[in-house]
Structure 1
Amino acid sequence: MIACYKGHFKIANYLLLLKADINKKSVKGNTALHDCAESGSLDIFKMLIQNGAKMEVDSYGMTPLLAACVTGHADIVDYLVKSNNLVSRTEKIEALELLGATYIDKKRDLIGGFDLWKQAMDLRFNIDDEQDIPKPDNALPIEAYEWAQEVKNHEELNELLSEPDEMRMQVCLMFHHHILPIKALLVRERILGPTHPDTSYYVRYRGAVYADAGKFTRCISLWNHALDIQRGSLESCHQMTVSSFFSFAELFSFMSDACATNDDNGYRQVPALLTFEDVIQVLVKAINELCEPKELPYAIDLSPRLLLISLDLFNMALKLIRNDEHSHLTHRLLYRLNKCNILGHLGQTALHLASARKTALAVSRHPQTGSSDDSTLLLRALLKIGANPNARDDEGNTPLHLVAAKDSLIIQLLLGSGAHYDAVNAAGRTFCDMRKATPHNPLYHTSLACHAARVIRKNRIPFVGHIPVTLYEFVEKH
């Protein structure tokens, strides 16, 4: 019911008088109660409960109570927690814990979050004539969370604070500003599970906070964990997963930037922060995402976008190679990508994209300090692992057609690797025709066979059935 989500009490009441089905689920599996919980309409929420609304679960396994916790609507949570028969004791405990995590992560209210966790702990252990409900003890510690564990009892919870008075509490909580958010992530992942978008979102958010503080190692660790969660629960090349890969590429680009602006509007060198290991662990996941599609691919094909991001990561990895092991691993991944024949926009191969210098990242604000060899590392690596210099995209262009006129080094590398100087695209144009110039002597790059093929095409001489079948494609390229 849209009226419930918008908080229109009179409209919702009118619909109830018309006997509207308040327990009907939407496409996403949510009911009117879910909409109320997300919008924070307590009056409508109570009215729906009084008219027989049920505490159903949506497609993520979320009840209206948990939905209120995620959005931070404490009044709805308080109403349900204080009720006698609307939710179970276990549901009340998890609700208070999740709401506490929301206070810490979303509202940045450390004291409020701690207080909610204390209420939850009281419900676990301080209920007369009822059995204690300890926290599950089967969760394996996670490296991204610095192997931290959730607090299991009052003693562990109180260890975060040394004195009960308000001023000391504030000081202690600020001292533990790093510990509490990590424990909030643990609570959220346990209660919501890995498939809920908020689980990975808040892991990524916490990583971004660390990045802003210059703690890049912590950020990379958390973002890798979020990426693993997304890859394990979402379709192949899902929008959220591709967005995570792009965030990594942007972070790595920032970390590897060789220059920074000083007060005199000049540039000074800064220490290199990025390592080969940082890039390669993300690159391996990107290639797996591209080359090992799941049974149900994402409705929108974002593999061209991820291909561009992966090539940016390859560019960074190639510049960070320090030994033969690094080189072997990088080239093996690149060979796998080339073998899978993942195509970008207009059916362009990785070599097309590298030749045209296409990138998913914005152009750097700082001047390039690397050598010309650095700028062609990816192209050289692709040619080394056997990428086809005569591959054609949907418009019949070879990589040579897409090279900028000023990139003479790239033209030389392609021609030196067997690219056909006189290959024509679907419009019948060679790469020289597209530039209205002949930057290289054609005598050095065309063979007698090329001349023969051009004569056949120019004079429209029938060749099918008169030459070997293996030469058909060769003739059609000219």
Structure 2
Amino acid sequence: MWDEETETECVNDIVRLTAWKASDTYGALYNDLMQEVKHSAPGARLSARLRTALERLSPDDRRLLCSRTRDGCAPLFIACRRGNLEAVEYLVHVCNADLEQRGVYEVRVPDERSVHCVTALWCAAVAGHLPVLRALADAGAKLDAGSDSGSTPVRSACFMTHLDIVKFLVERGADIHRPNHNGGTCLINSVQSLRLCTYLIDHGAEVDATDMQHKTALHYAIQEHRLETARLLLARGADPRLTSRAGDDALRTAALKGASQVMALLAARVRYGPSRLADAYELLGATQLDEFNDVSACLAAWRRATALRHATGQYVPKVPEQEPRKALLYMREWRTMAELEACAADADTLRIQALLVCCRVLGKEHKEHVFRLMYRGASYADSFRYQRCIDLWTWALEIRLEKDSILYPDTCHTACALTRLLLDARGALPAQPHEDVVHIAELLMNALPEAREWLVPRPVFKKQADTFDRALRCLAHLLHLMLDTASTDEERAHVHRRMRRVVELQLRSAHTCDTLLHLSVSRLTVIRSSYCGEEAGALFPSVSLAKALLAAGADPLRRNAARCTALHVAVLPYNFSSALVEALLAGGAHLDQPNKFGDSARELLALNAHSAVRPLRHVTLQCLAAAALRRAPAAPAVPAHLVHFVDLHRP
């Protein structure tokens, strides 16, 4: 029966065990063991001195010592990783090491590095040490113990193309049908090896098993241009008409990845209509141009597609028909061979035709189409053709906002890239892009309120909160650009109306509850984008934006999470300018309004030696009386109409 005395004995045992583990003898023995398993030759035994010292310990103490870890790995795990069979057998059979104790394993393959928490058997399987794997399996280690991502040893061995390891595990009863957390199967992980795929299919692997993206092994074989594997899968019954979550079947996947040989194989084995084949070859040509910059291969594919559309004597139309778009210079796709040859004379026209093909065949919301819009826009920006880039990226932002929320990382990345581009393009365009700035700002103004509501329920994911704050900083920059690019009275009037609208939205940042007025006076309001390199030159603090927001009705007394007003932020030394502080005070800010730490803006203002602001001109008798009430030992009765004013002067 469990009682207080038993509990006390257990606590004492734990204390004694902790003290013993910390002793010099235990530590020295453990260090010696770790040194030998790390640095001894793969087939070497542990030294006689170390074995003698270990065997003098009790069985429980030996097991306890072998369960101790360094850098996340126990001695058995390290011995398995290095393939030291002698050390593994000694630790398993003499020291009774825990076979299922997990360690940290780093998988290194070309272009990929990943770290996983796995068992010793998983480690041996991925490292390709068959004798060690056999020893662990004979000792009773679990064959299907998955990693932290749910990948079993046999699945991970397939990824590393260890055919002998896979054969051994399958013979011992490993489950080749069990996927990882993303649905990836052994067969999907084996498309790089024809022999491995053949072995798995012969032993019952499901050819059309799909992962969470609804992709089959055939999809992955095509993506990697594995012609022979694709041929094998088709011969063994793989269905080429199965579509992924993005709507891509085998033929479209081949066209998207530029796998022309696989396309020829599919065209020979599967009955497709002329319109379907023509679409595929047109998409293949677009890929050859956009991904591989191969104009001749692109034109060859497009000529073949055009011939297919005219093969029967009656033109096979391109469906669905696309409306002309400003971003694509209102162009339409070619229809005849003569029109195609005319396009071939101009490289820029060819690239626009490639985008037209992608939009029609894939659909405008397909991720590959949006990616190609961003890529083509970046190439225009690199050649200082900013307006073309602005048009393409604006269209990409519209598509992503229509499909996903601004909280979706790719959508926010597009908004940041576009804002940075507008900042970089100032002065580089013949005319300031006022209409573009206004349009993009309105897109964000329409998207941010709903996104902010989604962040109200708890818990809030940090990544989504960060994404929202980045988008809000983009809006602050766009508002500044709206003021900067407005050149006529009519444009300025439109800007003022939009300022009033954005103030009415009462947007606040997710982490610190900053308003747009707070952001407009802070040097920390910056945006970064992987498309545009380093962050742009600082626009903030912005006196003009602060004045415009105040004129539109922004509340200068509104506090953030630290109960700081915009004036608290503006008087910080790295934000300070006398003009900025004077603008806030003229708009109704209070110098003696404290934050949650009890610091008033008046006290922080004193930190700026070069300040030209005269505090006494902005402190009223009302403010002094409210401060006196705050310091009073007993709170006196305050008239109802003054309660709010007095509360403003409380921390």
User: Which TM-score band (shorter chain)?
Assistant: 0.7 to 0.9
Report deviation, 1:295.
Answer: 10
From 629, 638, 645, the equivalent of 1:456 is 629
From 342, 345, 359, the equivalent of 2:507 is 342
Q: Does 1:235 align with 2:405?
A: yes
Q: Does 1:221 align with 2:391?
A: yes
Between the aligned partners of 1:39 and 1:447, the Cα distance in structure 2 is 74
Q: Are the equivalent residues in 2 in contact too, given 1:4–1:35 (CA < 8 A)? A: yes
Report deviation, 1:40.
Answer: 2.0
Q: Does 1:381 align with 2:528?
A: no
Report deviation, 1:2.
Answer: 6.1
AA aligned opposite 1:346: T
Q: Does 1:351 align with 2:509?
A: no
From 554, 557, 563, the equivalent of 1:396 is 563
Question: Residue 99 and residue 2 in structure 1: after superposition, are their counterparts in 2 closer, same or farther (change >3 A)?
Answer: farther
Question: Residue 365 and residue 309 in structure 1: after superposition, are their counterparts in 2 closer, same or farther (change >3 A)?
Answer: closer
Between the aligned partners of 2:299 and 2:452, the Cα distance in structure 1 is 41
Which range moves more in the overlay, 306-315 or 450-459? Answer: 450-459
Report the counterpart of residue 438 of structure 2 in structure 1.
280
Map residues 352-431 of structure 1 onto 2, 5 A cutoff: 352-357=518-523, 358-360=525-527, 375-403=542-570, 404-405=572-573, 406-431=576-601
Map residues 31-46 of structure 1 onto 2, 5 A cutoff: 31-46=216-231
Question: Residue 450 and residue 346 in structure 1: after superposition, are their counterparts in 2 closer, same or farther (change >3 A)?
Answer: same
Between the aligned partners of 1:287 and 1:126, the Cα distance in structure 2 is 51
Between the aligned partners of 2:189 and 2:351, the Cα distance in structure 1 is 30
Question: Residue 2 and residue 74 in structure 1: after superposition, are their counterparts in 2 closer, same or farther (change >3 A)?
Answer: farther
Report deviation, 1:178.
Answer: 1.3
Report deviation, 1:236.
Answer: 3.6
Question: Residue 22 and residue 88 in structure 1: after superposition, are their counterparts in 2 closer, same or farther (change >3 A)?
Answer: farther
AA aligned opposite 1:126: A
Which range moves more in the overlay, 465-474 or 323-332? Answer: 465-474
Report the counterpart of residue 27 of structure 1 in structure 2.
212
Between the aligned partners of 2:229 and 2:633, the Cα distance in structure 1 is 78
Between the aligned partners of 1:460 and 1:2, the Cα distance in structure 2 is 75
Between the aligned partners of 1:41 and 1:424, the Cα distance in structure 2 is 67
Question: Residue 124 and residue 314 in structure 1: after superposition, are their counterparts in 2 closer, same or farther (change >3 A)?
Answer: same
Report the counterpart of residue 330 of structure 1 in structure 2.
495
Between the aligned partners of 1:453 and 1:137, the Cα distance in structure 2 is 70
TM-score with structure 1 setting the length:
0.83
Between the aligned partners of 1:225 and 1:271, the Cα distance in structure 2 is 19
From 119, 134, 143, the equivalent of 2:326 is 143
Question: Residue 295 and residue 469 in structure 1: after superposition, are their counterparts in 2 closer, same or farther (change >3 A)?
Answer: closer
Q: Are the equivalent residues in 1 in contact too, given 2:319–2:360 (CA < 8 A)? A: no
Question: Residue 193 and residue 137 in structure 1: after superposition, are their counterparts in 2 closer, same or farther (change >3 A)?
Answer: closer
Between the aligned partners of 1:254 and 1:294, the Cα distance in structure 2 is 28
For the pair shown, the structure with the greater C-alpha radius of gyration is: 2
Q: Does 1:64 align with 2:250?
A: yes
Question: Residue 332 and residue 24 in structure 1: after superposition, are their counterparts in 2 closer, same or farther (change >3 A)?
Answer: farther
Q: Are the equivalent residues in 2 in contact too, given 1:287–1:333 (CA < 8 A)? A: no
TM-score with structure 2 setting the length:
0.62
AA aligned opposite 2:620: S
From 205, 211, 217, the equivalent of 2:375 is 205
Map residues 161-200 of structure 1 onto 2, 5 A cutoff: 173=344, 175-200=345-370
Report the counterpart of residue 99 of structure 1 in structure 2.
284
Q: Does 1:48 align with 2:48?
A: no
Q: Percent of aligned pairs with the same residue?
A: 26
Q: Are the equivalent residues in 2 in contact too, given 1:34–1:64 (CA < 8 A)? A: yes
Question: Residue 184 and residue 44 in structure 1: after superposition, are their counterparts in 2 closer, same or farther (change >3 A)?
Answer: same
Question: Residue 441 and residue 153 in structure 1: after superposition, are their counterparts in 2 closer, same or farther (change >3 A)?
Answer: closer
Report deviation, 1:294.
Answer: 11
Between the aligned partners of 1:231 and 1:218, the Cα distance in structure 2 is 20
From 617, 626, 639, the equivalent of 1:444 is 617
Report deviation, 1:177.
Answer: 0.5
Question: Residue 391 and residue 76 in structure 1: after superposition, are their counterparts in 2 closer, same or farther (change >3 A)?
Answer: same
Which range moves more in the overlay, 449-458 or 433-442? Answer: 433-442
Between the aligned partners of 1:196 and 1:447, the Cα distance in structure 2 is 61
Report deviation, 1:340.
Answer: 0.9
Report the counterpart of residue 300 of structure 1 in structure 2.
464
Structure with the bigger RCO (C-alpha within 8 Å, sep 6+) is: 1
Q: Which ranges of structure 1 fall in alignment gaps of 5 or more residues?
A: 161-172, 258-269
From 100, 104, 109, the equivalent of 2:294 is 109
1:241-295, CA deviations, whole angstroms, 9 ceiling, x for partnerless residues?
22222222222222215xxxxxxxxxxxx88653322322222222222246599
Question: Residue 416 and residue 133 in structure 1: after superposition, are their counterparts in 2 closer, same or farther (change >3 A)?
Answer: same
Q: Does 1:475 align with 2:639?
A: no
Between the aligned partners of 1:323 and 1:140, the Cα distance in structure 2 is 33
Q: Which ranges of structure 2 fall in alignment gaps of 5 or more residues?
A: 1-184, 456-460, 529-533
| 2:464 partner SS | coil
AA aligned opposite 2:243: V
Between the aligned partners of 2:430 and 2:546, the Cα distance in structure 1 is 24
Question: Residue 82 and residue 132 in structure 1: after superposition, are their counterparts in 2 closer, same or farther (change >3 A)?
Answer: farther
Between the aligned partners of 1:5 and 1:35, the Cα distance in structure 2 is 9
Q: Are the equivalent residues in 2 in contact too, given 1:5–1:39 (CA < 8 A)? A: no
Question: Residue 363 and residue 246 in structure 1: after superposition, are their counterparts in 2 closer, same or farther (change >3 A)?
Answer: closer
Report deviation, 1:103.
Answer: 0.7
Between the aligned partners of 1:253 and 1:157, the Cα distance in structure 2 is 38
| 1:346 partner SS | coil
1:181-211, CA deviations, whole angstroms, 9 ceiling, x for partnerless residues?
1111111101110121111221222222223
1:368-397, CA deviations, whole angstroms, 9 ceiling, x for partnerless residues?
9xxx9x941111101110111111111111
Report deviation, 1:468.
Answer: 2.1
Q: Are the equivalent residues in 2 in contact too, given 1:396–1:425 (CA < 8 A)? A: yes
Between the aligned partners of 2:389 and 2:562, the Cα distance in structure 1 is 42
From 156, 170, 188, the equivalent of 1:4 is 188
Between the aligned partners of 1:24 and 1:401, the Cα distance in structure 2 is 60
Between the aligned partners of 1:247 and 1:71, the Cα distance in structure 2 is 26
Question: Residue 476 and residue 276 in structure 1: after superposition, are their counterparts in 2 closer, same or farther (change >3 A)?
Answer: closer
Report deviation, 1:138.
Answer: 3.2
Question: Residue 293 and residue 395 in structure 1: after superposition, are their counterparts in 2 closer, same or farther (change >3 A)?
Answer: closer
